[in-house]
Amino acid sequence: KQEVTQIPAALSVPEGENLVLNCSFTDSAIYNLQWFRQDPGKGLTSLLLIQSSQREQTSGRLNASLDKSSGRSTLYIAASQPGDSATYLCAVISGTYKYIFGTGTRLKVLA
Amino acid sequence: SAVISQKPSRDICQRGTSLTIQCQVDSQVTMMFWYRQQPGQSLTLIATANQGSEATYESGFVIDKFPISRPNLTFSTLTVSNMSPEDSSIYLCSVNNRQNTEAFFGQGTRLTVV
């Protein structure tokens, strides 16, 4: 059974710092991995999608990497801003087309 | 991409009543997914709604509590029945792209049961 874990569970950093969020999964047989952002009480916004054949994806200040063999992904946020404060979720999709979500990292960027 | 509209965006309900949540997609999709996110928790899949057949429920979720309709390829409803305070959660509708490689979510329904 696929399990997805994210560390740290919470993170508080001063504005301008570069930071790394971690995601690990137990079954490497995935189709892709997707990173989402969730603002309090809201739905999910897709940030980056990495297909199983890819190693990384970049969008603006965000960079996500994927190492399938070791069951790990990282989300790198450069030059963090207070507007980046949110919960970040990673999710993997496998053969059943269902997404299995991680436990999330609550990020707070202090001005 | 897909644009998903969910209604209502939030509601406060009395225990023992039922609430039906609607999910409308701007394109035809084979599968629609319903998730629950309890306070401070991650998302848990409730069921997969397929057009023309019964929904497939995940372990721990039953049709009597969470009946689902899927009348066509762009619409689905989830009903939370006989609600208790433990049902207070955000309920989210999701669809995949045609290749089933990317997920899109509605803005969610924030339910509070008092």
Contact B90 A49 (CB under 8 A): no
Contact B101 A98 (CB under 8 A): no
Mutate to test the interface with A, among B43, B90, B91, B95 (most CBs of A within 10 A): B43
Amino acid at B89: S
> When comparing pLDDT for B100 and A1, which is higher?
A1
CB atoms within 10 A of CB A70: 10
Query: pLDDT above 90 covers what percent of chain A?
Result: 79
Q: Which residue has the tokens 């991995």?
A: A33
Judged by a CB distance cut-off of 8 A, whether residue B103 touches chain A is yes
**Predicted confidence (pLDDT) at residue B41 exceeds the cutoff of 90:** no
Q: Which residue has the tokens 């599968």?
A: B31
Spell out which residues of chain B touch residue A42, defining contact as CB-CB under 8 Å. Answer: 107-108
Amino acid at A55: R
Q: What is the pLDDT of residues B69-101, one digit of tens each?
A: 999 999 999 999 999 999 999 999 999 887 777
Judged by a CB distance cut-off of 8 A, whether residue A59 touches chain B is no
